[in-house]
Amino acid sequence: MIQLKTMLNCIDNSGAAIVECVAVMRKKKQAARIGDRIIVVVQKQRSFGAESPGSSSLGITNKVRRGDIRHAVVVRAKKEIQRKDGGLIRFDDNACVLINKTGDPIGTRLTSVVGAELRDRQWSKILSLAPLHV
């Protein structure tokens, strides 16, 4: 149940670590679930070891900066979601992947598991990057 002000983990290597949801797209009253597109603000940048945090670290590694407004796809949610076979799936955290406006992921790698509901929503590019999907 991702809505305004929800803090999510960003699991790609775009440079964002924690993002905040500011809008759920194409849903008037409901909260976002796995596979939904949201708009986020980058709250915390991922600090890469080699880069020095003080200087201009916006190199190849960090494609986004703190305060950037980006589109994202929810890939994991704490709220359980029902599958077509009657089963449920629930993760321990809320996580998203940043995308650009055409729907392609900004990062090139994903670090952790994503929900298989993305397959129904045709997020095949994210699924191909993910190490695991359940």
Partner 1 sequence: MASSPSNMRQICCWRSLFRDFQNHKPQRRSLVTIQRGPVQKLNLPPNLPKQYWSQLPARLRPDQGKREIIIHKPIPSRAQTCKDPVSEVSSSQMALLDPTGARKRLFDYKNPEGVKVGDILHTTFKTGEPFSGVVMSIKSRGVDTSVLLRNHLTRIGTEMQVKVFSPLVQSMEVAQKALKRKRRARLYYLRKPKHDIGSVDKIVAQYLRQRALLMGGKAKGVGASRLRPSKKK
**Min dist. Cβ of residue 57 to partner 1 (A):** 26
**Min dist. Cβ of residue 125 to partner 1 (A):** 19
93 vs 100, beta carbon nearer partner 1: 93
**Min dist. Cβ of residue 83 to partner 1 (A):** 9
34 vs 51, beta carbon nearer partner 1: 34
64 vs 110, beta carbon nearer partner 1: 110
Structure tokens given for 96: 């998203």
33 vs 51, beta carbon nearer partner 1: 33
Check: CB of residue 45 under 8 Å from CB of residue 62.
yes
Element (H, E) at 43: strand 37-45
- 3-class DSSP state for residue 53? coil
Element (H, E) at 118: helix 117-120
Residues that bind partner 1 in the complex, under the rule CB under 8 A: 76, 80, 85-93, 95, 111-113, 116, 131-132, 134
The DSSP bridge pattern shows strands 69-76 and 7-10 to be unpaired
**Min dist. Cβ of residue 76 to partner 1 (A):** 7
Nearest in space to 57 (alpha carbons), one of 15, 11, 19 = 15
